[in-house]
Amino acid sequence: QVHLVESGGGLVQPGGSLTLSCAASGNIFSSYDMAWYRQAPGKQRELVAGTTSGGSTNYADSVKGRFTISRDNAKNTVYLLMNNLKPEDTAVYYCRYRRQASAWRSYDYWGQGTQVTVSS
């Protein structure tokens, strides 16, 4: 069992910045992938950014160049640095932990979600 604690959400004006943090605890293995998802009202949950155990990253086109995902393995923490925020970034943001036990089985754990609201 992995417990994820998210922090950093809140209200910010367009063009502003926020940094989200997700700290993992529990039965954490040395190799795991982390990702940030978000879900806006009336929309499906979408992948925002992901990082593999090897350090590779990927981003949704809508946030590329504005958001940066990073990880501190010593702290079992992943961050999402969000710059130049737009109203369309408003959503509940979720942290996801994934351990790939094999090619056919993974263990996923999700944070509780943190609200990010971009509005003037």
How many other β-carbons are positioned within 10 Å of the β-carbon of residue 31?
11
Contact 96, 70 (CB under 8 A): no
Per-residue pLDDT band at 39 (split at 50, 70, 90): very high
Give the pLDDT confidence of 42-57 residue by residue, as tens digits. Answer: 999 999 999 998 889 9
Contact 46, 38 (CB under 8 A): yes
66-82: average pLDDT: 95
pLDDT at 118 over 90: yes
pLDDT of the residue at 29: 82
pLDDT at 70 over 90: yes
- The SS3 of residue 44 is coil
Instruction: Name the average pLDDT for the chain.
Output: 95
pLDDT of the residue at 30: 81
